[in-house]
Amino acid sequence: MATQTVKRRSRDGLPVPVPEIPALADPRLHGARCAGMAPTFDVWIPNESDDDRRDRLAYAQHLCSRCTVRVACRQAATEHDASGIWGGVLHGDAGRPKREAA
């Protein structure tokens, strides 16, 4: 069966979960609200403005605050090289990536 690739957006233009996408590989995170929402939870998105980044990360943290596996997610973040929003906490934010010299 082919995977559905339709992208859905919320009223504010951010992606919304696609229920057909399976839960994350870690069985503790089954039911994660972020499933299918990459890159909403990433540290950086190329060419994103500071305002858009702030709004996006706040939205991700809002979703985490209502996620039933938040506690397990925070534990999982300690076991991985976590980057981005995990359990409502931003990991790996070492400043905006520098442009490579030409």
Count of residues making up the chain? 102
Nearest to 88 by CA among 101, 96, 76, 102: 76
Q: Which residue lies nearer to ligand SF4 by CB, 48 or 74?
A: 74
Q: Which residue lies nearer to ligand SF4 by CB, 41 or 43?
A: 41
Chain residues 33-92 in contact with ligand SF4, contact rule CB under 6 A = 33-34, 41, 63-64, 67, 69-70, 73, 85-88
Q: Which residue lies nearer to ligand SF4 by CB, 43 or 63?
A: 63
The C-alpha atoms of residue 70 and residue 87 are separated, in whole angstroms, by: 5
The C-alpha atoms of residue 63 and residue 61 are separated, in whole angstroms, by: 5
**C-beta of 19: minimal distance to ligand SF4 in Å?**
14
> Token pair for residue 92?
């790996």
Q: Which residue lies nearer to ligand SF4 by CB, 26 or 48?
A: 26
**C-beta of 14: minimal distance to ligand SF4 in Å?**
13
90 CB burial (10 A radius; 0-12, 13-18, 19+): middle
Q: Name residue 84's beta-bridge partners.
A: 91
Residues that bind ligand SF4 (CB under 6 A): 29, 32-34, 41, 63-64, 67, 69-70, 73, 85-88
